[in-house]
Amino acid sequence: MIEDAMIIAEEARISFELGHYHRVIRKCQEAAELAVKGLFKYVGIEYPKSHILGRVIKKELSKRNILNREELEKLAYISDMLSFDRQPSFYGAPDGTPASKLYDAEDATDAIEKTSWLIAKVKSLFRGLLS
């Protein structure tokens, strides 16, 4: 799952280069969700069939003491932040604003940076758990 997350994060970067900022948000959310669910699977956490994982991150990963409190909070925040933008980045706003008009380069850059941190953190956790 982490390998797929890394591929999808690269797709987000390509979408950024093309100026498809709403697609960056989508891809970052997908990559972050896969990375987190891959971590859950690896450590034996049954994860929900949901895109919003912050509560599970806080509850289940805190039991395993594999992250400090600040990292745990950041991981949960990034995961949830991207999840909340998932639907608008696909379908647009309820007022009819298309997804392509909802996000700009700054939003996309922020999503890429946060997703990159999340994936790097999950990868480092895998390395730590393997040693």
Structural domains of the chain ordered from first start: 2-130 (1.20.120.330)
Cβ 119 vs Cβ 35: under 8 Å:
yes
CA atoms in the 13 A half-sphere facing the CB of 77 = 8
Q: What is the pLDDT of residues 107-126, one digit of tens each?
A: 999 999 999 999 999 998 87
Over residues 49-107, the pLDDT tens digits come to 767 677 777 777 677 777 788 998 899 999 999 999 989 999 999 999 999 999 999 99
Transcribe 81-92 into DSSP letters: HHHHTHHHHHH-
Q: What global pTM score does this model have?
A: 0.88
